């Protein structure tokens, strides 16, 4: 989900600069100047964006605290904060001004004297909703913590996904590691994306492709005791022609309840894929053009490999 930026249009230069730097740190940002098109219903689009945002950055200035529009956006964010019982509104102090009473108790990102320090405080505050390597999914029966690491194993591109499932009503948890090792095709494809500065995007696509492939076959593991279980899955993506092997290990932790535990690898991958889809930003037009160029270059590389 995006980070919504609320600001007075008198502070547009600052708001655009801040949004651009958040994007450089892989945050998904919603700001009206980038999102609204001719013919859009302004009220409907902005209200929908606020309701679906992961956080609301409120830029406080002399102009914004007097703006009726900014007051409405702030009120919507505060209502969400009360309903969801979590921090939604993140104040950004651009200059000395009359801070609204209900924001005075909040710690704010201070840009009045040092821009870099202000930016760093925002990046720290939004880290949990912009990370592409760590996440937590809260469910009724399970809390799922996950992490993603990547690298090269014996010359091939590799991903390692670690998942901890914590049961909410029984005294155990499970630890699962999914190590994906790609073929030459996947390795070359990822290198092309990485060289273009889009490695993060390709890794997300790979994880989501793996989730789809896992859901088309039986990728479950039955943990019957305290011993670790292992299995391998061979998967492929017909569209890109890449293949990979997924090596999975899983074990239970905590108290022995005397009952077996069924681990759904496809379900775990779905959670990671969905979480990444909510935190990662949209691609801009330049990046979409790069992806088209990479697709063409990769197809040419595959053809050459076939000819050789």
What pLDDT is recorded for position 250?
A: 95
Kindly state the tokens that stand for 184. Answer: 């030459």
Positive or negative CA dihedral for 30, 31, 32, 36?
negative
Q: Which residue has the tokens 């949990």?
A: 128
What pLDDT is recorded for position 38?
A: 64
Closest CA to 59 of 25, 14, 28: 14
Q: Which residue has the tokens 């037009």?
A: 285
Alpha-carbon separation of residue 127 from 45, 54, 130, 164, 266 (angstroms): 26, 11, 5, 20, 27
What pLDDT is recorded for position 43?
A: 74
pTM of the model: 0.68
Burial 39-59 (b: 16+ CB within 10 A, else e): eeeeeeebeebbeebbbbbbb
Which strand (E) or helix (H) includes residue 222?
Answer: strand 220-223
Burial class from Cβ neighbours inside 10 Å (0-12, 13-18, 19+) for residue 284 reads exposed
What pLDDT is recorded for position 247?
A: 92
What are the beta bridge partners of residue 29?
A: 3
What pLDDT is recorded for position 269?
A: 93
What pLDDT is recorded for position 74?
A: 79
Q: Which domains does the chain have, with CATH numbers?
A: 3-130 (3.40.50.10140), 134-307 (no CATH)
Count of CA atoms in the C-beta half-sphere (13 A) of 60: 24
How far does CA 123 lie from the centroid of its chain?
14
Mean pLDDT, consecutive 10-residue segments, the chain of 308 residues?
A: 84 91 81 73 75 83 87 78 71 89 84 91 79 79 90 92 89 92 91 90 90 85 89 80 87 86 91 82 80 91 76
Q: Where do the H-state alpha helices sit in the chain?
A: 12-24, 32-35, 42-52, 68-84, 115-125, 127-130, 184-195, 199-215, 265-279, 285-307
What pLDDT is recorded for position 40?
A: 62
Count of CA atoms in the C-beta half-sphere (13 A) of 62: 3
């Amino acid at each position: 989900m995006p980070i919504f930026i609320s600001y007075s249009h008198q502070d547009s230069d600052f708001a655009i600069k801040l949004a651009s730097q958040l994007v450089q740190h892989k945050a998904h940002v919603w700001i009206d100047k980038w999102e609204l098109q001719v013919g859009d219903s302004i009220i409907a689009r902005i209200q929908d964006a606020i309701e679906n945002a992961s956080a609301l950055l409120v830029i406080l200035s002399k102009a914004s605290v007097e703006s009726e529009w900014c007051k409405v956006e702030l009120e919507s964010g505060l209502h969400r904060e009360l309903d969801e019982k979590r921090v939604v509104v993140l104040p950004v102090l651009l200059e000395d001004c009359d801070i609204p009473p209900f924001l005075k108790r909040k710690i704010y990102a201070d840009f009045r004297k040092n821009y870099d320090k202000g930016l760093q405080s925002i990046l720290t505050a939004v880290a949990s909703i912009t990370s592409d390597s760590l996440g937590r999914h809260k469910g009724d029966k399970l809390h799922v913590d996950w992490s993603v690491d990547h690298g090269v194993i014996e010359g091939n591109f590799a991903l390692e996904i670690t998942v901890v499932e914590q049961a909410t009503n029984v005294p155990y948890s499970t630890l699962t590691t999914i190590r994906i090792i790609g073929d030459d095709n996947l390795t070359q494809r990822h290198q092309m994306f990485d060289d273009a500065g889009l490695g993060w995007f390709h890794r997300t696509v790979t994880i989501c492709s793996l989730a789809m492939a896992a859901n088309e076959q039986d990728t479950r593991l039955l943990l019957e005791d305290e011993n670790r279980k292992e299995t391998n899955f061979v998967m492929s993506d017909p569209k890109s022609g890449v293949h990979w092997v997924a090596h999975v290990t899983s074990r239970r932790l905590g108290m022995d309840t005397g009952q077996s535990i069924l681990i759904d690898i496809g379900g775990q991958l779905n959670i990671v894929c969905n979480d990444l889809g909510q935190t990662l930003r949209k691609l801009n037009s330049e990046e979409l053009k790069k992806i088209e160029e990479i697709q063409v270059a990769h197809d040419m590389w595959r053809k050459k490999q076939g000819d050789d």
